Structure 1
C-alpha cells in the first residue's frame, strides 16, 4: 500500500474513532484529519524508525508490547504538531486509537493482493 492509500485509511480511521469516542478523541474537521494523517505518515517514515532502534532493548524485554507505547507517542506528537483541533484526552486514549489504527491497517494490508 502506498503513502496516499495509507493516508486515506488513516483519515477514515481518525474520523470514525472520533465519532465513536467523542469523549476521548477530538477531530474538528475532515481537513484536520487529512493534515494529521499526512503528519503522522511523515513522522512514521522519519522519526519512528529512530525511536524503534533506540527502544529495541526494552521492546525485546517486553516481548513487543512497548511498540504500542511508541505508536501512542507518535499520535501524541501528531496531536502536538496539529494543535487543539486534533487532540486526545490522555495518553491512554492515544494508545487505544493507535491500537485501532494498527488493527485496521493490518486487516487492509493483509487482504491486499
Structure 2
C-alpha cells in the first residue's frame, strides 16, 4: 500500500516541483518500487557509513542521502526524470514531510 501512496506523492510532486517530470502513472509506480528498494538497501548502507557525519551535522546528511536515492531512482526508471541533484534534495524533503504526515498514525499504533 505504501508503494501506491508513494507513487501518488511522486505524481503530485511532479506537478508542484519544476525539474521533476513523470510521464505516466506506471513510471510513478515503478519509481516508487525502485525508490523503496534503493532506500532499503543503498540508503541503509549509506546512512551507516555516514553516521559520524550525520551526528555532527545533526541529521542533515540524511537529507542529502534521501536526495541521492531519489536522484538514483530517476537514473534507473524510464519516464521518471529529475533535472539536478538539488531538485532531488528538495523533492526528498517534501516527500519526507508528506510521508511523516501520512504514516504518523502507523507509528503511533506501535506504542
Asked if 2 retains the 8 angstrom alpha-carbon contact of 1:40 and 1:75, the reply is: yes
Over the aligned positions, Cα root-mean-square deviation in angstroms equals 1.1
How far the C-alpha of 1:111 sits from its partner, in A, is 2.6
SS of equivalent residue, structure 2 residue 62: helix
Q: Any stretches of 5+ residues in structure 2 without a counterpart?
A: none
Shift of 1:48: 1.0
**Which one of 67, 80, 88 corresponds to residue 72 of structure 1?**
67
Moved over 2 A (4+): none
**Is residue 68–residue 99 contact of structure 1 (8 Å, CA) maintained in 2?**
yes
Following TM superposition, by how much is the alpha carbon of 1:76 offset from its aligned partner in structure 2, in angstroms? 0.9
TM-score (norm 2): 0.90
Q: Match of 1:100?
A: 94
5+ long unaligned stretches in structure 1 = none
* Structure 1 length-normalised TM: 0.89
